[in-house]
Amino acid sequence: MAEIRIENLRHSYMANPRGEDDYALKRLSLTWQDGGAYALLGPSGCGKTTLLNLISGLLTPTVGTISFNGRDVSRASPEERNIAQVFQFPVIYDTMTVYDNLAFPLRNRGVPEPDIKSRVGEIAEMLELTKTLSKRASGLTADGKQKISLGRGLVRSDVNVIMFDEPLTVIDPHLKWQLRSKLKELHLKTKRTMIYVTHDQTEALTFADQVVVMNLGEVVQSGTPVELFEKPQHTFVGHFIGSPGMNVLPCEVRGGQALYGGQAVATGNAPAASGKGRVELGVRPEFVSVAASGIPADVVRVSDAGRYRIVEARSHGHTIKLLLKEGDRVPEGKTFLAFDPSHTQVYEDGWMAGSRR
């Protein structure tokens, strides 16, 4: 187990990268604590798998360093780094039994057979594979096979980190939930550092204590699920996390006051805004409510999403979405909207005004 520190990491798949666009991973510095559960979240092609493969040693970084517990491993092989990785598609050794599959990483490292036996037994118990141990691995279903890959990751007691690269892609929906809770349970039980890569926000937010959101080869925000939800550092995070995503409305900032359609709107960070560039107001549908006065709007559509209703309203030529709980009065026609000031932020060129940039 180890603390993972990533400093100024950049990676390009080209031999001689010229411009910024040639980098799949632009510039990245992160520190991950020992024993944490982390998720890398982002759309397809944002560089999250690249980052994962750099950490596991399947790729060597173009620039920058990765260290485990202060030891630089940037150029070490996956074997030297002592990590485990579970891939998108279940990788099993077809000709071996489930037992031999689980024992494979230990046998390769010359662990004595009695130790292997007890260790494999323990892991099989955890993953509910005990009954199938003597069966051939190729005969199992997709989720059974993915459990084997998972088991091969867990079987070594000394791995520095276990990485998951969208491990639930090929699993049936009703088993996804089951395996996800299994993973969470395993993390609590084993206290290993785990990194989970996904483009599914539900998977990321339920699994991880800390979520790193990536876009276009850069980290956009790193924080707890609550932080990502309540204080998105970038409008991208606002859009990407939450369903429906955050409302982003063009606005002006004058004298430390945000103005939307000429009307003053109370926000958490307007005084910090410089008023330059593209200025926008961000508020999540959860924090918009119907009020007796405020921002005038026309209700366009109300759709039922089960536990709540999504109301779409037009105001000053923009669409604002809000959520109504079951039993709330459904507005019709002309109405007024209010934004919760502590959850309304000003963004400049996409970034939250007054944040680190």
Q: Which residues bind another protein (CB under 8 A)?
A: 53, 56-58, 77-79, 83-85, 87-89, 91, 93-96, 104-105, 108-109, 136, 149, 152
Q: Measured between alpha carbons, how far is 279 from 32 in angstroms, rounded to an integer?
A: 33
Residue with tokens 């603390």: 3
Pairing of strands 210-215, 37-41: parallel
- Other CB atoms within a 10 A radius of the CB of residue 71 amount to 12
In the structure encoding, which two tokens stand for residue 291, read together? 């009020």
Coil, strand or helix: which one is 242? coil
Amino acid at 299: V
We find the least distance from the C-beta atom of residue 93 to another protein, in angstroms, to be: 5
332 C-beta neighbours (distance < 10 Å), count: 10
Residue placing its CB nearer to another protein in the complex, 149 or 315: 149
Q: Which is nearer to another protein, 58 or 133 (CB)?
A: 58
Closest CB 198 distance from another protein, rounded Å:
16
CA 63: distance to chain centroid? 24
**In the complex, minimum distance from the CB of residue 111 to another protein, in angstroms, rounded to a whole number:** 11
For the chain, what's the residue count?
357
Give the shortest CB-101-to-another protein separation in angstroms.
9
At closest approach, how far in Å is the CB of 303 from another protein? 37
What DSSP string describes 283-302?
Answer: E-GGGEEEESSSEEEEEEEE
Cβ–Cβ < 8 Å for 353, 269: yes
* Residue indicated by tokens 């910024």: 20
Shorter beta-carbon distance to another protein: residue 101 or 235: 101
What's the min distance (Å) between Cβ of 160 and another protein?
A: 12
Specify the residue, 109 or 334, whose C-beta has the smaller distance to another protein: 109
User: Minimum distance from CB of 149 to another protein (Å)?
Assistant: 7
State the Cα–Cα distance between residues 10 and 337, nearest whole angstrom: 45
Q: In this complex, which beta carbon is closest to another protein, that of residue 88 or of residue 289?
A: 88
Distance CA 184, CA 179 (A): 9
Which residue, among 163, 183, 191, 224, has the nearest Cα to 35 in the 3D structure? Answer: 191
348 token code pair: 């400049």
CB of 142 to another protein, least distance (A): 14
- Residue 233 to residues 172, 188, 244, 253: CA-CA distances in angstroms? 34, 29, 17, 18
Q: Is 93 or 303 the residue whose CB approaches another protein more closely?
A: 93
Closest CB to another protein among residues 88, 355: 88
| Shorter beta-carbon distance to another protein: residue 149 or 221 | 149
DSSP run (H or E) holding 196? strand 194-198
Q: For residues 152 and 321, which CB has a smaller minimum distance to another protein in the complex?
A: 152
Q: Cα Rg for the chain, rounded, in angstroms?
A: 24
The distance of closest approach from Cβ of residue 349 to another protein in the complex, given in angstroms and rounded to an integer, is 38
